[in-house]
Amino acid sequence: MPRAYSMSGVMGAADRAVRLATDFLTLKAPGSLVHDVQEDPRFQHRGVDLLWDQGDGKVLGVEVKGDRQGRRRGNYFFELISNAEKDAPGCFLYSTADLLLYVFLDVREVHCLELKAVRDWFVPRTKDYPLKATKTRTGAVLYTTVGAIVPLGDVKAAVPQALTVHRFALSTPG
């Protein structure tokens, strides 16, 4: 049976994930600027949540995924179908972002994945990983999201150059 979530719970987790992702990016490149473009329609359909201006003329698109409990299970949830009822593809497949910042909220850990490298490795192996469905309620509407459950170790072993991990102290704000 799929897990069920409320939209307010999902949005609260997403906000916390974006805050930690922003902290991670500014820590990686002090003086850089992070622009939140989640509400900008020019970036929504591209699967880009943040623009990271590194200050050297390079601007990267960033997709942020917040996971409230995945780290203790040791898995990523790669979203393959965003809304099964509308047959909408998941952000892992369509995002044009350069980076996927996967934030494990339970342990305040940010995994920075080079999205193209990880996607190129994963897609031919999609059938090797189990799928999981979650349900999210927005008012009276319930929709289903489907993703692949991928062990952290598999990604690290297959594309080690595409992964950076940073753990924030549990006492830091965000």
Q: Which tens digit of pLDDT belongs to each residue from 108-140? A: 999 999 999 999 999 999 999 999 999 988 888
What's the whole-model pTM score?
A: 0.88
Pick the CATH number of 3-74+95-127+152-167 from 1.10.10, 3.40.1350, 2.60.120, 1.20.58: 3.40.1350
| Nearest CA among 38, 34, 26 for reference residue 51 | 34
Exposure class string for 81-97: b at 16+ Cβ within 10 A, else e? bbeeeeeeebbbbbbeb
pLDDT tens, 88-102? 999 999 999 999 999
| Nearest CA among 124, 118, 115 for reference residue 155 | 118
Question: Phi first, then psi: what are they for 130, rounded to 5°?
Answer: -70, 150
Long-range contacts from 13-18, C-beta under 8 angstroms, 24+ separation:
13/66, 13/68, 13/105, 14/64, 14/66, 16/66, 16/103, 16/105, 16/174, 17/64, 17/65, 17/66, 17/67, 17/101, 17/103, 17/105, 18/49, 18/50, 18/64, 18/66
